Amino acid sequence: MRVSAQDTAQAVLDVVPAVMRTIRTEMRTHRGCDINVPQFRTLGYLNRYSGVSLSQLAEHIGLTLPSMSKLVDGLVARKLVSRQVYTGDRRRVTLALTARGRASLASSLEYTEAYLAERLAALSDTDRATIVQAMQLLDPIFRSEREVEAKPAPQTNDAS
């Protein structure tokens, strides 16, 4: 099957923004899930890689350091994330989810997933498998540049 990279790019460019806007609008609309997409991604990343530094986080999420700092500020203020000075190098900071953060992530994830799942339920198993496979193909291509080999946290303190 001949599918050029350009055809693929065009398809991605056509569809991804529409999907994204649906996700964003849905997150904004849902009351009690008071979290936006970058915040959601931040919680998700910290869930996977507890104890990373601010720089690592910013690199992955794709924000500048000041923006990331501000975003984290908000999450710390809401006690969803803990931020501690790293004892080994006092310039660095160690970020982790609190219990509340985990709960908030689970709730957002559940809600947004449920919303998407509702729409995806219209498809056949085979079609869904195709989508999952496509996501798995896209993932490394668009994440690799940022994903850090995130050393597991020296400690997963939970200041909830």
DSSP line for 45-69: HHHHSTT--HHHHHHHHT--HHHHH
* Gyration radius (Cα) of the chain, Å: 18
Binders of a second copy among residues 116 to 135 (CB under 8 A) are 116-123, 125-135
Q: 53 contacts which partner out of DNA, a second copy, none, CB within 5 to 8 A by kind?
A: DNA
Is the four-CA dihedral 13, 18, 21, 27 of positive or negative sign?
A: negative
Q: Which residues pair with 93 in a beta bridge?
A: 85
The contact mask relative to a second copy for 59-98 (x = CB under 8 A, - = no) is: --xx------------------------------------
Using rule CB under 7 A, residue 84 touches DNA? no
Q: Of the candidates 2, 3, 6, 89, which one interacts with DNA according to CB under 7 A?
A: 89
Q: How far apart are CA 133 and CA 25, in angstroms?
A: 25
Residues 33-62 vs a second copy: string with x where CB under 8 A?
----x---x--x----------------xx
Collapsed DSSP state (helix, strand, coil) of residue 23: helix
Tell whether the torsion through CA atoms of 95, 99, 102 and 107 is positive or negative: negative
Positions 19 through 48 that interact with DNA (CB under 7 A): 36, 38-39
Q: How many CB atoms lie within 10 A of CB 26?
A: 14
- Judged by CB under 8 A, does residue 159 bind a second copy? no
Q: Which is nearer to DNA, 64 or 126 (CB)?
A: 64
Which residues in this chain contact a second copy in the complex, by CB under 8 A?
1-23, 25, 37, 41, 44, 61-62, 109, 112-123, 125-139, 141-143, 146
